Structure 1
Amino acid sequence: MQLPLIDLVVFFVYLLGIILFGVSFSFKGRTSNDFQTGGGRLPAWALGMSIFATYVSSISFLALPGNAYQSNWNVFVFGISIPIAAYMAVRYFVPLYRSLRSESAYFYLEERFGPWARTYASVCYLLTQLARMGAIMYLLALPMHALLGWDVGLIIVVTGVSVILYSMLGGIEAVVWTDAVQAVLLIAGAIACIVVIFVSMPEGPAQVFSIAMENQKFSLGSMDLDFTTSTFWMVLVYGLFINLQNFGVDQSYVQRYVSARTDAEAKKSTLLGSLLYIPVSFLFLFIGTALYSFYQANPENLPAELQLSGNADKVFPHFIASELPLGLTGLLIASVFAAGMSTVSTSINSSATLLLSDHYQRYINPQISEKQSLRFLRIASLTMGGLSVLVGLAFNGVSSALEAWWALSSIFSGGILGLFFLGLILNKTKKPNVIPAMIVGVLAIAWVSLSPVLFSEGSIFRSQLHTNMTIVVGTMTIFLLGFLFTWLVQKENGKPIKSSSD
């Protein structure tokens, strides 16, 4: 599909502008601390917008409308769990990280369990981010290929180089401020789409709601207490655990907590970034529902191949390319790019920070100088960004990149939340006995996530749980077994187990 010149101009002006804006932060004197935390002087509103932009990737930008178009609002239940996770983060996790005064989220695990726990969690995070960045760039490239006609591999490389450039040179300040700009663009693009759909309905905006209501498009899913399919309760429980992991133990978010000026501003940024997702996800889901109504009212506007099951994610890109006014199409394409770039830039900066604090400085060069630290951070940013591009290219041709990403993320990150829970609840126990629990927990994670691939339907060894329950199984296995093993050892030694409430 050949886009009009004005839309290409809008897109390229945005791309060049955001790169130059991010790179501009490199011209100021920067220390390694500035690179990692912005010197602790970043305002709460910018950090909050950055947290939000990190949370909403290009996957969300395209998958949420596609999901609502094809089915209903079941995934909105995911957002309902966010206030609980946000409260837990503000009440317990933000004060914890601010008091530790470390750039690494996993320094706490070393304090509680020893160096192995910090290294384990850090390696899991790094592997998760490589898979995440690669999946996001690949999934971003698919609709961009349809919109621009560029080669998928070229789009991955262009996206990667663009983000690497300002992440490597400008540090977290460049990431946070570009995220803030991109978050505003993301929201503006969503609102613009809804307005266009409303004014394009043959019988007016009310027709969007009448068609959607007739087809039960606003349903939140089955209320059965069933965790083998995507019911209301399964999505709610999954959302609670994954959001506790995101806002409680994920380096991408923790690094923003310690970059705020004060404890109060850190809490404000957390609440802004997390709670903003709820109305914005509402917007994206409503776009999907509105698109369903629009194409029901105007079936001739939708190509026959997009009416087939399994092509729902392609409907929104088609609408962007064919129904929006001149100039606005370029803005929406820029919004899709913004969603991907903000998430990737955060992962690059956070990964570089962990490579320095948890690995290079911890094991190789404890006496590293300020100049060496800054150089290492930039080299690490370049390395992680380059590797993520290679991972993105490796995803090309995978039958389901999204499912591959979900499986990898579950395996790499499912157990860390359980470790943090043990550390917090047993915070008066000197060294909880968690290594056996970790081993069993990782095996449980692998079983839930991989058994559908390894075992045939009907096998007694095949997990019947929905794959999204992987993080729930892994977290609870590690927590409960860790608590039990610690209690048994304490009992054998004649000492009662102590928790944070004692």
Structure 2
Amino acid sequence: MDAPRAIGTFVAWDYVVFAGMLLVSAAIGVYYALAGGGQKTSEDFLMGGRSMTAVPVALSLSASFMSAVTVLGTPSEVYRFGAIFSIFAVTYFFVVVVSAEVFLPVFYRLGITSTYEYLELRFNKYVRLCGTVLFIFQTILYTGIVIYAPALALTQVTGFDLWGAVVATGVVCTFYCTLGGLKAVVWTDVFQVGIMVAGFATVIIRAAVIQGGINTILSDAYNGGRLNFWNFNPNPLQRHTFWTIIIGGSFTWTSIYGVNQSQVQRYISCKSRFQAKMSLYINLVGLWAILTCSVFCGLALYSRYKDCDPWMAKKVSALDQLMPYLVLDILQDYPGLPGLFVACAYSGTLSTVSSSINALAAVTVEDLIKPHFRSLSERSLSWISQGMSVLYGALCIGMAALASLMGALLQAALSIFGMIGGPLLGMFSLGILVPFANSIGAFVGLMAGFSMSLWVGIGAHLYPPLPERTLPLHLATYGCNSSYNGTNLMTTTEMPLSTSAFQIHNVERTPLMDNWYSLSYLYFSTIGTLVTFFVGAFISLPTGGRKQNLDRKFILTKEDFLSNFDMFTKKKRALSYKSHPMEDGGTDNPAFNHIELNFTDQSNKINGTRL
């Protein structure tokens, strides 16, 4: 195999490939801004006219999953902690099944645009407002991380100004998202999936050639302890074990796929419930492919640098910079291919950020503007939606500055989803699965769950767990020699794992720090979900939960499961599943009709309560 040498730099062809990806993405936005007369209504802009089909939506869901956090963070995670991360393949299966069979039927039946409309229909407007505010906060913060990640890669491989790259990322996303709406988001995602797969494949193929074959990479990984798949230690304080990934990971990712507006908005934009479910199951195949590629890239990283770790040798300042470093090392003789990888990381960002911006615009229009300004025309709402896209694009760029202080990207991103997404998942689960849950229980449960997950999450960030909890694997530098200096584009000092500007060092460890704050970050979501769910159910019982007259279309019923078999019995039923008819392009919003439910019980029974 080849010996390490000085890494390369960007050349003209790399810039051409990278710029080409940006231009095509922007052109798709322009096309959907003009096609069919543009975005005439907020329904067109936010939901694609509810006419999407399964395959492009599935690819869009996968593209949003594979953000730059995945492209850069997962390989470095495997490099540092081993391939146990691949157990997430099992987690993704559970997540998709629960999302498709528990949450999707209820959301699709109601014909909603914002998932938080459900909270008003099921509970009240104050619970809906709480959910909306938490979602907006969570999404802006997460999107800041996603914007910052590829900017970090760009500065590593090209010498670009870091904040110039951050601003460029946000501007391009905001441009095509604002022009083309959800259709532009979905179809740019489809294009970007191709770029991301090509980028990953290029790295894997070239690494296999240089290292002497896939067997060599796997042998090096085995000898280095990286093939640590089966750690069945039940200790919840261990960062990654089989149980933390299966249990904690399932709660974390269900909060994303099951109830998060960014994901739900796309699959309920499908033209039928069957297409919506298919989009989730096809997306599962994409998740498995992405996970396989990113894990193998991490093993290739270890095989290449097992004797001379660039992080400890201070060739890079953070673990998240290892992938761009590898790319410039092994692809320097192939002009354009380093640019393809950076386009791969950048595509992940564009897909995730555009989805977030579109979702933020949707919840703002549906949850904060429509209920207070009901006289606005659809054309006005469409313009407001586009204005919200511009506003949130600017806010996400600003939030990237805070993300730069949060340390390791992958863990920071999943921690945010856990701390905020967990309580939201608990509240939606309470509404859909517990018929006697009421608004008082939902609100108290949400506050309790959010307080608990925030307590453990912030505590873990301020007082990070010790190495015996995180179990980092051995890295070596004995193979480095004085002649191998690399190209030191990043001149800052070495950054310890998961470091942060907010961490508190040199303090005496207490039992609280060594136990509660050392809980695996994947359990943040689990705690938030379970506390919200059980506190909400308990409080609902003495506060009149059993006395409420609840319409069955707001909860999961056995008919929702049995309707999966409609295609084998009564085909006509599958064509008219939605109980809430969409009139005049979908302007008949159920969130504004809940006051009249008591007067239309009989009509509801006829139109879809019993399916």
Alignment of 1:245-394 (within 5 A): 245-296=255-306, 306=313, 311-324=318-331, 325-363=334-372, 365-394=373-402
Further displaced range: 160-169 or 325-334 = 325-334
2:115 pairs, out of 102, 105, 121, with: 105
Distance 1:430 1:477 in 2: 16
State whether structure 2 residue 27 is matched by structure 1 residue 20.
Answer: yes
Paired-residue identity, %: 25
**Are the structure 2 counterparts of residues 246 and 452 from structure 1 closer, same or farther at C-alpha, using a change threshold of 3 Å?**
closer
The structure with more radius of gyration: 2
SS, match of residue 359 in structure 2:
helix
Distance in 1 between residues matched to 2:186 and 2:219, nearest whole Å: 41
Q: Could you give the per-residue CA deviations for residues 321-377 of structure 1, whole angstroms, max 9, x where no partner exists? A: 2311222111111111101110000000111011100001112x1121011111100
- Which residue is equivalent to 2:521? 467
Q: 1:269 to 1:312 in 2, by over 3 A?
A: same
- Asked if 1:412 is matched to 2:394, the reply is no
1:397-435 Cα deviation digits (max 9, x unpaired): 555566555554444333111111111122365656232
C-alpha change, 1:268 and 1:250, in structure 2 (3 Å) is same
Counterpart of 1:229 in structure 2 is 238
Shift of 1:459: 4.3
Bigger mean CA offset, 330-339 vs 205-214: 205-214
Instruction: Tell me the amino acid that sits aligned with residue 272 of structure 1.
Output: I
Unaligned runs of 5+ in 2: 1-7, 464-507, 559-611
Match of residue 10 from structure 1: 17
Find out whether 1:192 has 2:202 as its counterpart. Answer: yes
Q: Distance in 1 between matches of 2:135 and 2:277?
A: 23
Task: Supply the distance in 1 between the matched residues of 2:74 and 2:411 (Cα, whole angstroms).
Answer: 15
Distance 1:227 1:308, change over 3 A: farther
Contact 1:74–1:220 (CA<8 Å) still a contact in 2? Answer: yes
Output aligned runs, 1:196-235, within 5 Å: 196-201=206-211, 203-220=212-229, 222-230=231-239, 231-235=241-245
Cα distance in 1 for partners of 2:407, 2:532 equals 32
Partner letter of residue 510 of structure 2?
G
- Counterparts of 1:253 and 1:34 in 2: how far apart (Å)? 17
Structure 1 residue aligned with 2:442, among 420, 434, 445?
Answer: 434
Q: 1:211 to 1:432 in 2, by over 3 A?
A: same
Aligned to 2:606: none
What's the counterpart of residue 602 of structure 2?
none
* Corresponding residue number in structure 2 for 1:57: 67
Runs of 4+ in 1 over 6 A off after TM superposition: 307-310, 491-495, 498-502
1:458 aligns with 2:479: no
Residue type at the aligned position of 1:442: F
Cα distance change of structure 1 residues 427 and 475 upon mapping to structure 2, 3 Å threshold:
same
Distance 1:194 1:362, change over 3 A: same
Shift in CA distance, 445/304, structure 1 to aligned 2, threshold 3 Å? closer
- Which AA in structure 1 matches 2:217? V
Would you say the 8 A contact 1:79–1:278 is kept in 2?
A: yes
- What SS class does the counterpart of residue 276 from structure 1 fall into? helix
- What is the CA deviation profile of residues 43-66 of structure 1, one whole-angstrom value per residue up to 9, with x for unaligned ones? 211000000111111011011111
Q: Confirm or deny: 8 A CA contact 1:51 1:274 kept in the other structure.
A: no
The one-letter code matched in structure 2 to 1:226 is N
Deviations 1:126-165 (A, max 9, x none): 1111101111111221111011101110000001111100
Give 1:486's aligned amino acid: S
1:160 corresponding residue in structure 2: 170
Change (3 A) 1:280 1:211: same
Correspondence 1:69 to 2:79: yes
CA distance in 2, matches of 1:426, 1:397: 40
- The C-alpha deviation readout for 1:187-239, integer Å capped at 9, x for no partner, is 122122111112212x4442222222222322125211011112221121111
Counterpart in the other structure of 2:531: 477
Partner residue in 2 for 1:120: 130
Task: Report the Cα distance in structure 1 between the residues aligned to 2:430 and 2:224, rounded to whole angstroms.
Answer: 46
1:131 and 1:409 in contact (8 A); partners too? no
Q: 1 or 2, which has the higher helix percentage?
A: 1
- 8 Å CA contact retained: 2:152, 2:321: no
Per-residue deviation, residues 227-264 of structure 1 (Å, max 9, x unmatched): 11122211211111012111210101111122112111
Does the Cα contact within 8 Å between 1:422 and 1:482 map onto a contact in 2? yes
Q: Report if aligned partners of 1:80, 1:278 keep a CA contact under 8 Å in 2.
A: no
Give, in whole Å, the separation in 2 of the partners of 1:123 and 1:373: 20
Moved more, 177-186 or 90-99: 90-99
Deviation of the 1:305 alpha carbon: 5.2
Q: Are 2:420 and 2:525, in contact at CA under 8 Å, matched by a contact in 1?
A: no
Corresponding residue SS for 1:99: helix
RMSD over aligned Cα, in angstroms?
A: 2.6
- CA displacement at 1:94 relative to structure 2: 1.6
Secondary structure of the structure 2 residue equivalent to 1:35: helix
Distance 1:2 1:291, change over 3 A: closer
Could you tell me which residue of structure 2 aligns to residue 141 of structure 1?
151
Q: Give the aligned residue type for 1:39.
A: G
> Which whole-Å CA distance do the structure 2 matches of 1:190 and 1:139 have between them?
17
For the Cα contact (< 8 Å) 1:143–1:317, is it kept in 2?
yes
Residue 503 (structure 2) pairs with residue 449 (structure 1):
no
Q: What is the DSSP-based 3-state SS (H/G/I as helix, E as strand, rest coil) of the residue aligned with 2:441?
A: coil
Q: Which moved more, 1:47-56 or 1:385-394?
A: 385-394
The code of the aligned residue for 2:216 comes to Q
User: One-letter code of the match for 2:354?
Assistant: S
| Separation (CA, whole Å) in 2 of partners of 1:90 and 1:304 | 41
8 Å Cα contact 2:54/2:276 also seen in 1: yes
* Counterpart Cα distance in 2 of 1:36 and 1:167: 10
Judged with a 3 Å threshold, the aligned counterparts in structure 2 of structure 1 residues 220 and 359 are, in CA distance, closer, same or farther, namely same
Question: Mind listing any 5+ residue stretches in structure 1 that lack a counterpart?
Answer: none
1:90 alignment partner AA: A
CA contact (8 A) 2:14 2:338 kept: yes
**1:49-90 C-alpha deviation (Å, 9 max, x unpaired):** 000111111011011111112231122222311111211121
